[in-house]
Amino acid sequence: MADVSLQRTAKTARKDRRRPFAERQSRQSGRQPGNFPLYRCFFAQIGSKSATVGGAAAGSRAPFENHTQGHGPGGDAEGVAAGDHQRVRAAAANVFCEHAGRERQKEIALGDTLRTARLLLRQWRDDDAAAFAELSADPAVMQYLVPFADRAAMDAWVVAARTHWHDHGFGPWVVELPGEALMIGVVGLSNLRFALPFAPAVEAAWRLARPYWGRGYAYEAARAAIDDGFGRLGLDEIVAFTVPANRASRRVMEKLGMTRDPAEDFDFEHPRLLPGHPLRRHVLYRLRRS
């Protein structure tokens, strides 16, 4: 006779997988998410020290397949952009396996978590990939980001993000809302490896799940990441860039004290963007360490 309790558990799990991302996240703590407007952007960090942060060669890595993401996490940005996910996975196969990855993480000074008044920025766990894929599949979240081709590309992005942590001692954080959701988005730093006007650079980027827009979480998480970059990593300058239409991101940049010189705006020549694509043109903001 089949175990009734196991049948019930399996049925519940299937039902839960059909729930929206934010609802499943909130159900884990018994709280309901809100529904709030857009509040997201991505940042890039550069400076005289950025070429050697974490032992990286100048412009060696890139983190977010989201801003093209490429500004994308840095295990192997070209592999991600080209859809060569096998190459990315092979390069990172043992990053967090056995003792090597765990011991490497212990060596990262103050690198385990960042805490703010409301948020916890933490490192990746194996079960975060599914939540990341679901929030990245939301067209509203990806409105100003180049979408992933498929789930394999999303998983490769996560592998690249974790590899960047292993290789350099910093990278994209998972943003957790304690008591409400285990993952509301991603924000963090990575070495930029694209031929942009201000490269080499260390980039930071984030995306938040839609129910958490409009609460100031983007600013709060970015502030923590910027402080970590200026403090622990010793960076001298942080820049932020996005497409001109992304007014929400630009407001966050300005709230952070960043300034823009229109003469520095640029076209981002990403291999996945055709001429005339609305995401090619970017505006650039800068912030120096005080």
Query: Which comes out higher in pLDDT, residue 276 or 133?
Result: 133
**CA-CA distance, 151 to 7, in Å (whole number)?**
28
Among 73-82, 185-194, 202-211, 281-290, which stretch is predicted with the lowest mean pLDDT? 73-82
In 3-state terms, what secondary structure has residue 92?
Answer: coil
The model's confidence at residue 228, banded by pLDDT at 50, 70 and 90, is very high
**CA-CA distance, 74 to 193, in Å (whole number)?**
8
Write down the pLDDT at residue 24: 54
The model's confidence at residue 209, banded by pLDDT at 50, 70 and 90, is very high
Q: What is the DSSP letter of 147?
A: P
Does residue 280 carry a pLDDT above 80? Answer: yes
**CA-CA distance, 202 to 286, in Å (whole number)?**
13
The model's confidence at residue 244, banded by pLDDT at 50, 70 and 90, is very high
Give the domains, in start order, of the chain with CATH numbers.
20-288 (3.40.630.30)
Does residue 23 carry a pLDDT above 70? Answer: no
Does residue 39 carry a pLDDT above 60? Answer: no
13 CB-near residues (< 8 Å, 6+ apart): none
Angle at 284 between CA 199 and CA 232, to 5 degrees: 60
Residue 32 phi, psi dihedral angles, 5° rounding: -100, 140
Q: Name the residue with tokens 């396996």.
A: 97
pLDDT > 90: percent of the chain: 36
Write down the pLDDT at residue 96: 31
Angle at 121 between CA 115 and CA 122, to 5 degrees: 115
> What's the mean per-residue pLDDT of the chain?
71
Please check whether residue 202 is in contact with residue 226, taking contact to mean a CB–CB distance below 8 angstroms: no
Structure confidence by residue, pLDDT tens digits, 126-158: 999 999 999 999 999 999 988 899 999 999 999
Write down the pLDDT at residue 161: 93
Does residue 46 carry a pLDDT above 80? Answer: no
Write down the pLDDT at residue 195: 79
Write down the pLDDT at residue 102: 41
**CA-CA distance, 178 to 118, in Å (whole number)?**
7
The residues pairing with 44 across neighbouring beta strands, listed in sequence order, are 203, 239
Two tokens, residue 215: 């609460």
User: pTM for this structure?
Assistant: 0.65
| Strand 266-267, strand 201-208: pairing | unpaired
Q: What is the mean pLDDT of residues 233-247?
A: 88
Distances (CA, A) of 137 to 154, 221, 278: 9, 22, 19
Does residue 265 carry a pLDDT above 60? Answer: yes
Sign of CA dihedral 30, 35, 36, 39: positive
Does residue 84 carry a pLDDT above 50? Answer: no
Please check whether residue 109 is in contact with residue 175, taking contact to mean a CB–CB distance below 8 angstroms: no
Determine the residue type at 205.
A
Query: Which comes out higher in pLDDT, residue 26 or 170?
Result: 170
Q: Which of 97, 60, 58, 57 is nearest to 77 (CA)?
A: 60
